Structure 1
Amino acid sequence: MTEAMMLMDLLVQIAVSTAVLVMVILFVVTLDARVDPRERVLRRLTGRHWWNHTRHGPD
């Protein structure tokens, strides 16, 4: 009986951790989706690093 309880506890822990992981992934995806897709692509393509920023121009 004890082994069955331990197995059930393990399955519950796995289910809860999976649910939390899915919620975090959905949260991150919805945060990323709020940004305009065109702006997100342009930001990735421009490769804005510290070495190719202009000194006095807009960032």
Structure 2
Amino acid sequence: MMDLLVQVVVAAAILVMVVLAVIAQDRRTSVRERNLPGASHHHWWNRTRNGH
């Protein structure tokens, strides 16, 4: 019975670590994209409207 409890706790801890790693990775990429110089302003609709 104790072994099953340990396995469940270990599995839950691994799952939490994986979820946190995925969230951290996702946040890192969005921050990197947000920090690109003017990347968010170079969409095709902005370009056509501004005549560039």
Code of the residue aligned with 1:38 in structure 2: it is H
Could you say which residue in structure 2 is the equivalent of 1:26?
A: 27
Q: CA deviation at 1:9?
A: 0.2
Q: Which amino acid aligns with 2:20?
A: A
Return 5+ residue gaps in structure 1 as ranges.
46-59
In structure 1, what residue type is equivalent to 2:41?
R
Q: Larger RCO: Structure 1 or Structure 2 (Cα < 8 Å, ≥ 6 residues apart)?
A: 2
1:50 maps to: none
Cα distance in structure 1, aligned partners of 2:16 and 2:41:
37
Q: 1:34 & 1:26 partners in 2: Cα distance?
A: 12
User: Percent identity over the alignment?
Assistant: 2
Aligned residues: 42
5 Å matches for 1:1-59? Answer: 1-35=2-36, 36=38, 37-39=40-42, 41-42=43-44
TM-score normalised by L of structure 2: 0.72
Q: Greater helix percent: which structure?
A: 2
